[in-house]
Each structure stands twice: as C-alpha cells, then as structure tokens.
Amino acid sequence: MLQRAGGRSRTYPARVERCLVLAACAGLVLTATASAQSPEKPLPLLTHNEQVRRLSPEQAAMGYPVRVRGVITMDAPSPDFFVQDGTAGIYVEGSNSEKYPHRLGELV
C-alpha cells in the first residue's frame, strides 16, 4: 500500500507497487551516488535487493547509494531486465548504451 499526499492510501498489486518504488529510485540499482544526502550523516549503501524493495517512496527519493550483485533472470522489454540476488528479485531500468550490455544468466 502506498501513502498519498493528504494521508489517503491506495492499494496497488505488489508488482506495480515495487515498480513505483523502483521508479522513485530512478536508476539506483546497479551503482549510484546519493545526490540528496545530508552532509553530516551519509545514507548507508544498500547491497541487497530486499533492502531496496523495503524503501518507501519517500526514502527512495532520498537517493540511497545502491550496489547489488545478482544474476539477470529475465529480459523485460529491452533495455530493462530483472536481477535476482540471494534475497529477492528486482526490476532494473537498463541502458541502451553499448557501455552497459547485459545478457540473460549473466552475473552483474
């Protein structure tokens, strides 16, 4: 369930809710820098898919740094894909860049 402004909440199917949280993460899954960090206390590095999936939309918008190691288990419509680690699977917005190619079954 996602909380809306004004305190109202809306129930989404689990898959849609995860995608909404990931959309808020906006590219954090492979390796990212936190742009909205407080200078006094940096945000912790997230290293497991389950940690990313547990973020609320507000937390995801804070720009947590993420470095996940897992196997590409499904190619979604290119260039997106799913990565499975020991804790969960997660959707990744891929890149069309030749610098970041990916293949099904590859450890990334």
Q: How confident is the model at residue 5 (pLDDT cuts 50, 70, 90)?
A: very low
Q: How confident is the model at residue 71 (pLDDT cuts 50, 70, 90)?
A: very high
Q: What is the pLDDT of residue 40?
A: 72
* Closest to 48 (Cα-Cα) out of 35, 29, 20: 29
Q: What is the pLDDT of residue 2?
A: 42
Report pTM.
0.59
If one compares 24 and 66, the residue with the highest pLDDT of the two is 66
Distance CA 35, CA 107 (A): 27
